[in-house]
Amino acid sequence: MKILITGGLGFIGSHTIVELMQAGYEPIIIDDLSNSEPFMLDNIQKITGQKPKCYLYDACDKDRVRNVFAENTDIKAVIHFAAKKAVGESMKQPLAYYRTNLVSLLTVLDLMQEFKVGNIVFASSATVYGEPEKLPVTEEMPLQKSLSSYGSTKQMAEDILEKTTANHWLKAILLRFFNPVGAHHTALLGELPNGVPNNLMPYVTQTASGIRKELTINGNDYSTPDGTCVRDYIHVVDLAKAHVKAIDRLLKTAETPVCEVFNIGTGAGISVLEMVETFEKVNNIKIPYRVGPRRAGDAESIYASCEKANKILGWKAELSLADMVRDSWNWEKYLKDRKE
Ligand code: UFG
């Protein structure tokens, strides 16, 4: 069964392609390489033994994306990842974020309607919850006004999908990702941050490899057990597997609701310090760090209730924090070896 994946060469997209192929699906990729490199496609082939069809197009380019639908008439579902994703950058370039993230979604939905493709899995984010009132967060909790334009594009996209599915030509599964980290166990796929990383894990791995001098921990005066912020880190391979379960549900389960939302995390709250210490212990390497001020807009603590995904999707995160830090580090070392 053919599945179209926008952003299929990105961090989460590339791992999802591998899992889909290993589950017997035939993925077709659209990616403009704005946050990836061509070698990711070669590496997908190294892992799976096959090279998926890949179109190096911008998902906002309606004429080109139409050609993809026209050439592949039996697409059964779309997984839509293609989007800009840096929270800080989204505050400096709000229009670019609204344009890319919303136009790409509308383009894909218009063409799905035109070509009668009735199933979509959408890459949403825990960012839609803002600073939650109760922990762990469940899918029913009210969303709060977003602090970043990135976050509001995810909220708006969820709203667009909810309203569109109400017309019954489309079914959607919205996956709210918590904090994806890790890399493929082969060290052939992982995250390729643009410039200086904003996220914790790539900053830690780049510090370990000497690209960055030291890590700054953004505040240790929060009301958490060790004073640093708490997040729900999830291994990217577990996250990729959740997409296969979502596609299975859309294509193989009769009578499901037209629009469903699932948290995709581990359910465990991990502090910044715990993450750094686990990285040091598992990989036997020191991370030089200092404590700096709080980062504007950071939620103090957020982690998921994943009961709904466990029960309805039959999915559960399986990989540990040790797996996440080990695989992230192996990927960073692979990138270093590639450059040398
Ligand atoms: N942190 C540091 N030092 C750094 C980088 C991060 O201390 O150099 C801290 C942050 O302040 C935060 C924690 O590590 O407390 C995690 O920060 P990340 O930037 O890795 O992740 P966020 O939780 O801020 O955001 C991530 C994604 C968003 C997504 C969000 C959902 O970047 O795209 O999770 O909760 F929307």
- Here the CATH number for the domain that contains residue 20 is 3.40.50.720
Query: Ligand 1: which atom is nearest the Cα of residue 181?
Result: 20
CA distance 52 to 182: 23
Query: Ligand 1: which atom is nearest the Cα of residue 228?
Result: 15
Query: Ligand 1: which atom is nearest the Cα of residue 154?
Result: 36
CA distance 193 to 163: 34
Q: Count CA within 13 A, CB hemisphere, residue 44.
A: 29
* Residue 201 maps to a domain: no
Where residue 31 falls (left for φ over 0; alpha for ψ -120 to 50; beta otherwise) is beta
For ligand 1, is residue 127 a contact (CB within 6 Å)?
A: yes
* Residue 25 maps to a domain: yes
For ligand 1, is residue 154 a contact (CB within 6 Å)?
A: no
CA distance 307 to 11: 25
**For residue 209, what are the contacts with CB-CB under 8 A and spacing of at least 6?**
332, 333, 336
The pLDDT, as a whole number, for residue 192 is: 97
* Residue 39 maps to a domain: yes
For ligand 1, is residue 229 a contact (CB within 6 Å)?
A: yes
* Residue 168 maps to a domain: yes
**For residue 171, what are the contacts with CB-CB under 8 A and spacing of at least 6?**
118, 119, 120, 165, 250, 256, 258, 259
Residue 127 belongs to domain spanning: 2-182+233-265
* Ligand 1 binding pocket mutation candidate from 124, 181, 200 (most atoms within 8 A of CB): 200
Taking a C-beta distance cutoff of 8 angstroms, is the pair 192, 11 a contact?
Answer: yes
Q: And the tokens for 306?
A: 């994943």
The chain-wide mean pLDDT, for the chain, equals 97
Which residue owns the Cα nearest ligand 1 atom 34?
A: 179
Residues of the chain with pLDDT under 50: none
* Residue 206 maps to a domain: no
The pLDDT, as a whole number, for residue 297 is: 84
Distance 113 CA to ligand 1 centre (A): 36
CA nearest neighbour of 69 among 110, 10, 33, 105? 110
* Residue 116 maps to a domain: yes
The pLDDT, as a whole number, for residue 293 is: 97
The question of whether 289 is a catalytic residue gets the answer no
The tens digit of pLDDT for each residue in 269-298 reads 999 999 999 999 999 999 999 999 999 889
The pLDDT, as a whole number, for residue 340 is: 83
For ligand 1, is residue 224 a contact (CB within 6 Å)?
A: no
Domain count for the chain: 1
**For residue 10, what are the contacts with CB-CB under 8 A and spacing of at least 6?**
31, 35, 36, 81, 82
* Residue 69 maps to a domain: yes
By residue count, the chain amounts to: 340
CA distance 286 to 179: 23
* Residue 108 maps to a domain: yes
Distance 37 CA to ligand 1 centre (A): 24
pTM score > 0.75 for this model?
Answer: yes
Q: And the tokens for 89?
A: 């950058």
The pLDDT, as a whole number, for residue 139 is: 98
The tens digit of pLDDT for each residue in 50-88 reads 999 999 999 999 999 999 999 999 999 999 999 999 988
Q: In terms of DSSP bridges, do strands 270-271 and 230-231 run parallel, antiparallel, or are they unpaired?
A: antiparallel
